[in-house]
Structure 1
């Protein structure tokens, strides 16, 4: 029987690293993909030291068009198939869309949308065969328009919609499909985006470790969506009571405070 692994992208830090720890603690063999191979190797050694099978480390940049090919080739060379796919890699940049570097913003689409979609479609047959699961990391931002981080917010709206549609298509074929929608999580995300955590992080704060645990439980329970923390759970509900124009203006004013 071909050995099965869980592929986790963006596993070098933050939620991705914590997801790797949770999956490993629950007996999954892992394949970890990210740009920073030194961090991946450190995490792989940590998991092995705790008694798990040492993960397969795949150094790749998901902004590159051939990243999916590189991941697939490495897994094939290792003689493994996927039973779970965790699309965690993603980033955003802060600032007005028309004033930020265009290439950088297209990179958000490459990582948050194109690579995620590629991996879901590329490995769908294996996930059906092995009756596995897909966990796509969205964001509470996906429920909102996002002036000040327009491309990032829009990319996460895509992740939510695409994941729910995949659930409709793959669910009847035995695949669990879940979207994770965290709020602000203390991690390297804010520094890369170009802003410091604000009052939203203080009020809605849930640790990366807690997010990962909730995500794993939600995926295994075949939940449609996981929104970690009470504050985040009520956001989609509250949005029903406000006109879209009001929400747009409110998010814009909030984002302006991060300047």
Structure 2
């Protein structure tokens, strides 16, 4: 029997990593779930676990978010399932690393479609309903990379800068509306990201956090309507100290740190 819930949360990139952990944590809070990713078997397995462990409704929406009409398709499938999305977690994303001129343009295009275009499209799709109900929220997963210039992660870092600024702008616009917006900007997290990107050096010497700790920090910040959160004290310090320096100097200093990644990689992408 399904329990009475706190509404439906739609989580993108829910097949693994932070997305799967967001789904588990929200189900434990009593939310029904709509799970979005490309991998049907992984989503079906997670949905079955959530139904069994938490007694919530868990639906699967299989969608590649790099497709031009991805947000429209997700919104239509949600409507077909009779779901009213009360919390949107835009977690899906991937990174490219290496010398920009050697990374396939098609991969960079897909990266921006997933990290930026689908995030904005899904927010456009579900935010009006939340505003009309005067309740709900959007959680956008960014990165500490979004605070800084990141040579050899040029497109990835720029996409995460967009996520941070977009989220904070909406947070400001929607004050008093009953709808919350949060940007979550973690440093390295222990997910498949580094295996897929091709080198653990992409963590730039930092010890990756666990998905459990990042999601716990994110949901605490969301409850408090903080606008953005940088999980981890070390990450918080780095995120806020570096941008205070001249931007060209930051770019030059960043090159010294991130060059080790480019030197190790045959141009590759993580997803």
Preserved contact between residue 72 and residue 121 of structure 2 (Cα < 8 Å): no
Gaps of 5+ in 1: none
Name the CA distance, whole Å, in 1 between partners of 2:257 and 2:177: 42
Q: Which residue of 216, 235, 257 maps to 1:254?
A: 257
Aligned to 2:124: 121
Q: Distance in 2 between matches of 1:152 and 1:240?
A: 17
Per the alignment, residue 84 of structure 2 pairs with: 81
**Residues 198, 70 of structure 1: CA spacing in aligned structure 2 closer, same or farther, 3 A cutoff?**
closer
Structure 1 residue 226 displacement after superposition:
1.1
Which deviates more, 175-184 or 214-223? 214-223
Following the alignment from structure 2 to structure 1, what is the Cα–Cα distance between the partners of residues 203 and 36? 32
Q: Secondary structure at the match of 1:42?
A: helix
Alpha-carbon distance between aligned partners in 2 of 1:22 and 1:239, rounded to the nearest angstrom: 32
- Tell me whether 212-221 or 82-91 shows the greater mean CA deviation: 212-221
Gaps of 5+ in 2: 1-5, 265-271
Please say if 1:94 is aligned against 2:124: no
Shift of 1:174: 1.4
Q: TM (normalized to structure 1)? A: 0.94
Q: CA 1:196–1:204 in 2, change beyond 3 Å: closer, same or farther?
A: closer
Q: CA deviation at 1:149?
A: 1.1
Corresponding position: 1:65 with 2:68: yes
**1:232 counterpart residue number:** 235
4+ residue segments displaced more than 3 Å: 197-201
CA distance in 1, matches of 2:19, 2:63: 15
- Is it true that 1:157 corresponds to 2:171 in the alignment? no
After superposition, the C-alpha distances for 1:34-64 in whole angstroms (9 at most, x for unaligned) are 0011111111111111132131100000000
